[in-house]
Amino acid sequence: MNPIIETIFQRRSIRKYTDQQVEPEKLDILLKVGMAAPSAMNCKPWEFVVITDPEKLSQFRSRLIFGNRNAPAAIVVCGNPSLSLNPAARLFWVQDCSLAGENILIAAESLGLGTVWVGVHPVGEFVRVVREIAGLPKRVTPLGLIYVGYPMEDKPARTQYDERRVHWQKY
């Protein structure tokens, strides 16, 4: 099978991590692949906040209901629609930033890292907490938080393909 497709099937949500720190070079690669994502009208509304400070990570763990993960790093995927000169493109920041996040999740798997996506937007309290911890200005909205680290658990590859959800030519 194609190695990219194998990586996609192998990517799983990892919720337990070793204490090993993620190398800055690997975090840089993840940011680069995030910014390689497609975006509507090439708007590129994404911004990222990399968190490795144990105190900030501890705040995420204690203040986000789904954020109790022991990863040594997190990437906050943010949308900043004001980066686009085209007002129409500003409507697609959620989709664009989601694509950037997916690139990061897949690339992390290929680097031997584990990740889990924690949804933030559109839940107001989650947005407020992440905005406060990451020091985000009002014009920047956190879409999600990606915990990154070396996995302590090994999960089998899988596809979640369900042919009942596929429609050809019409619904």
Structural domains of the chain in order of their starting residue, each with its CATH number: 17-153 (3.40.109.10)
Q: Residue 33's CB: how many other CB atoms inside 10 A?
A: 19
CA dihedral 59, 60, 65, 69 (to 10 degrees): -110
Average pLDDT of span 25-33: 98
Residue 129 burial by CB count (10 A; 0-12/13-18/19+): exposed, middle or buried? buried
* Type and span of the H or E element at 148: strand 141-149
Which value, to the nearest 10 degrees, does the dihedral of the CA atoms of residues 77, 127, 82, 147 take?
-10
Report the distance separating Cα 149 and Cα 114, nearest Å.
Answer: 5
Query: Which of 43, 158, 48 minimizes the C-alpha distance to 103?
Result: 48
Beta-bridge partners for 79: 46, 141
Is pLDDT at 43 greater than 90 in this prediction? yes
Tell me what percent of the residues of the chain surpass a pLDDT of 70: 100
Whole-number pLDDT of residue 84: 86
Q: pLDDT tens digits for 92-141?
A: 999 999 999 999 999 999 999 999 999 999 999 999 999 999 999 999 99
Q: What is the mean pLDDT of residues 52-62?
A: 98
Average pLDDT over residues 69-92: 94
pLDDT of 25 strictly over 90: yes
pLDDT for 85 equals 84
Cα Rg of the chain (Å, integer)? 17
pTM of the model: 0.96
